[in-house]
Amino acid sequence: MKCFVITKKHIIIASCLVVALTLSIIGATQTFAQSNRKLPIYCVETEKKQIAISFDAAWGADDTDTLISILKEHEVPATFFVVGAWVDKYPEEVKRLSDAGHQVQNHSNTHPNMPRLSNAQMCDELKSCNDKIEKVTGKRPTLFRPPYGDYNNATIENTESMGMKCIQWDVDSLDWKDSATPDTIYQKVTSKVKNGSIVLFHNDAEHTPEALPHILKTLKEQGYEFVFISDLIHKENYEIKHDGTQCKIS
């Protein structure tokens, strides 16, 4: 009868095999999870030099008329994602934005972290905000931007179930930071914009009105055309890459 002697070498080989098998399982699990992960639209793959300017509106409204004036001077259409509570507080500002030719879209009703909500609560956030915007502007939103940029699969699924698209951004002005200055905002935006970019600003950030004219002028000089997000994105026959880039499927 043969005796099998377990040596240190055998233990090392077995340990390596266990580690390799574990890593393989983890890798397969992560790949599966990633393949089933839903993504919002961060930007659009396009050969056209088109970009979209967007503003999130959730708190103050002191700069509304200034922003409207700047956008009008530079002939730039913008997409404003507004919170329902903001509509309650500033209905006249919402109407002025719409009357000035800008699109007013959904940024939730109370600005919650969407992944923390149930499906019913998510849908209520979307519907309530849509109802308020439509009552003031006469137009029902077709786009939704999750507060804090925070989302999960359910957020996107519930958004799509209401016939809406979930929108993020690929260029962040970081205009909300205490350290922001007109120059840092300008540099953040102009250094990162590319064809199909969606740029994020905030309607009540301290230095945005000062930075915005220079940004718009520079981007126009670089040949960019400004369009609404709803005109930039594809409505059907598309896929979204792992980095959130929306691509047309021919």
Report, as an integer, the average pLDDT of 213-218: 98
**10 class by beta-carbon count within 10 Å (0-12 exposed, 13-18 middle, 19+ buried):** exposed
Mean pLDDT of the chain: 90
For residue 42, pLDDT over 90 is answered with yes
For residue 182, pLDDT over 60 is answered with yes
pLDDT, tens digit (0-9, with 9 covering 90-100), for 60-110: 999 999 999 999 999 999 999 999 999 999 999 999 999 999 999 999 999
pLDDT, tens digit (0-9, with 9 covering 90-100), for 149-179: 999 999 999 999 999 999 999 999 999 999 9
- pLDDT score for 23: 41
- pLDDT score for 250: 79
- Residue numbers annotated as active site: 56, 202
- pLDDT score for 104: 99
| Percent of the chain at pLDDT exceeding 70 | 86
For residue 38, pLDDT over 90 is answered with yes
Instruction: Choose the weakest-confidence range: 34-38, 149-153, 202-206, 234-238.
Output: 34-38
